[in-house]
Amino acid sequence: MGYIVEHTVGKLLEGKTPQQVSTLRVLDPACGSGSFLLGAYQRLLDWHLQWYSEHNPEKHAKDRKPKIFRGPGGDWRLTTSEKKRVLLNNIYGVDIDTQAVEVTKLSLLLKVLEGENEETLVKHLRLFHERALPDLADNIKCGNSLIGPDFYEGKQLSLIDEEERYRINAFDWNAEFPETMAAGGFDAVIGNPPYVRVQRFQHDEADYFYRRYETPVSKTDLSQLFLEKALELVAERGRAGFICTSQWMSTDYGAKMRALLSQGYLEEIVDFGSLPVFRSASTYPAIFVLTGKPTNSLIVHHVRDRSALTATGIRSAASRKIKCSTLSSSPWNLSEFDLLHSLGQANRDWKQLSAFAQAYYGVVTGMDSVFVVSASQKEELKLEDSILFPFVYRGEEVRRYSVVDPTSFVIYPYEESQSGVPKLIPEQSLRDNYPNVHSYLEAHRERLKSRKDSRRLYASGKDWYRHARPSTFARIRPAKMIAKGIGKRLHVGLARGGTCFSGANCPGIIHDDEGPYSQEFLLGLLNSRLLAFHLRTVCPPKLSGYRRFTTTALNKVPVPVLDLMEKSARQPYDDMVELVEQMLALQRATESGKTAHDRKLIQRQIDATDKQIDQLVYKLYGLTGKEIEIVEGGIK
């Protein structure tokens, strides 16, 4: 909090006088219990006291309305009157929760009284004939910061009941803060907005968010909307600072937010990576400092130790300056080393992996606890083999350069169609031709009918046993590479033909047999340290240093273009294929190793081959010694 206050309010105080600061407006649009407003208020009080103390303090103590006075120990203190003036002039907040609003007001009022005693308060009241505490009704208000009166456009107001009005609590910023909004907005907008997925809201609210705001896509959460709202509320000369989720920087649903902020509104990012910043929450936050007027310079601090961040700065972090013009709607790589930038600098020709192989999400059943069965269940229930497929759905099943051997099966109640889209087997056909599978599913009918997709039921009718998202036979039948969906580095193994996979946990990658590169060549690239490092920079973070390796990120992996008719290019290509074939053989040998000593010897060969592959990949991508050093340090 201190860092955000200092880099917004603190920056705005520089070089100003109390008279100039009297028009400074600080807002927390989701103030909760008021912690950020308390921090901002304290910063303003400290600044005023220091300014008066350094600029003829005796004069300010003898004013008609004194600003400071001598405390019991002889030190200067702000008068209660001055503390009230600062509060009423500078501090503003909004929250949808009425109790939170009252708590915020109380906390701020207690701050006014901090350090006072009965004697000083009585003296103050006698001198200035004022009430001890100010009325904060015009400063701290209850309302929905994200929903305005346009929510009701096109609706018949007479049909809207009191309960709905209370739930929505639409807030008109121009009507509630007319002078501030007429002047261009707030000077500082700060806070820690809620991290709540839009899908959790009722239809009318969610639909409004998608209609009213520019950035939300699919899984957007409220903190992303608050970032966009901050840019609407902050004055052109102002600054905004939030600590909120950072996942939009690399996920598909963050594309529009990235497009907006790449216009130059983002001045600074403090990226905590997968550090557990909030001990009680599984979130991946970062601090974002924005400006009302676009610039073209962004500073990124990568913090790897919670204690490194102080109120005034960062003690230790890997920092990087980036031109906003180099950012776009594509996932942002803000790390110390950017592979795509390096390839451009080295003039290396490359294409995305999707030109040579396609990463896919596989089967999404919507209820694995029903559709996925073990080998023993399959035998015990005598489930018909022809609509069951081996199923890889746990990431731990996938190991680098190894053929996955799934122990589970997925019930796949589909048949092929001429269009290639799988066709759900009609229930009568399912009952006649696959009686045991039908009987098993029938026992779980009510559970399957209750499944939800986003906020709506999708399996309540005649298709109650369908998958949430079936794969196609064209993706099931081929042999394929398969990735571990969540990990500290990418692991890619192999799967036999006829294997199904769960794309969220185990994305499949189907090689183009007619393409110029063999599957072995691509397998070597994907399992290398270099691409492991690259994917860590563009994939969404998880806690404890883990990443989610999405199909989008995999398909966009850069692959060097080689002219295999040229000997100079053919040789490293052949070397890679040979090394990967060795690695595949070594992994098979590990699985059949008879003694611990045998396995240890094989592991040494694996490690040595791995290093050879990594060195060959660095050469193929044209990395410099410094770049190799960064990659080696990042993937240990």
What are the pLDDT digits (tens) for 324-373? 888 889 888 888 788 988 888 888 899 999 999 999 988 989 999 999 99
Q: Is residue 554 part of a domain?
A: yes
Q: Is residue 27 part of a domain?
A: no
Q: Is residue 243 part of a domain?
A: no
Segment 154-168 shows an average pLDDT of 71
Number of domains in the chain: 1
Per-residue pLDDT, 516? 94
Q: 582 is written with which tokens?
A: 């060795």
**Is 634 or 487 the better-scoring residue by pLDDT?**
487
Per-residue pLDDT, 355? 96
Q: Is residue 18 part of a domain?
A: no
What are the pLDDT digits (tens) for 396-443? 889 999 999 998 999 999 998 888 889 999 999 999 999 999 999 999
Burial class from Cβ neighbours inside 10 Å (0-12, 13-18, 19+) for residue 495 reads buried
Segment 278-304 shows an average pLDDT of 80
Whether residue 576 has pLDDT greater than 90 = yes
213-227 residues labelled b (16+ CB within 10 A) or e (exposed): bebbbebbbbbbbbb
pTM: 0.76
Per-residue pLDDT, 279? 55
| Alpha carbon distance 242, 145 (integer Å) | 15
Confidence of residue 546 (pLDDT cuts 50, 70, 90): confident
Cα dist. 11→8, 310, 433, 474, 514 in Å? 5, 16, 73, 58, 59
Q: Is residue 527 part of a domain?
A: yes
Are 480 and 495 within 8 A, CB to CB? yes
**Residue 29 DSSP symbol:** T
Confidence of residue 323 (pLDDT cuts 50, 70, 90): confident
Q: Is residue 278 part of a domain?
A: no
Domain that holds residue 481: 357-634
| Alpha carbon distance 4, 240 (integer Å) | 9
Whether residue 173 has pLDDT greater than 60 = yes
**Is 578 or 547 the better-scoring residue by pLDDT?**
578
Q: Is residue 346 part of a domain?
A: no
Segment 385-404 shows an average pLDDT of 92
Q: 76 is written with which tokens?
A: 């200067």
Taking the C-alpha atoms of 188, 219, 204 and 181 in order, what is their torsion angle to the nearest 10 degrees? 10
Q: Is residue 376 part of a domain?
A: yes
Per-residue pLDDT, 217? 82
Whether residue 253 has pLDDT greater than 90 = no
Spatial neighbors of 407 by CB under 8 A, at least 6 apart, are 374, 375
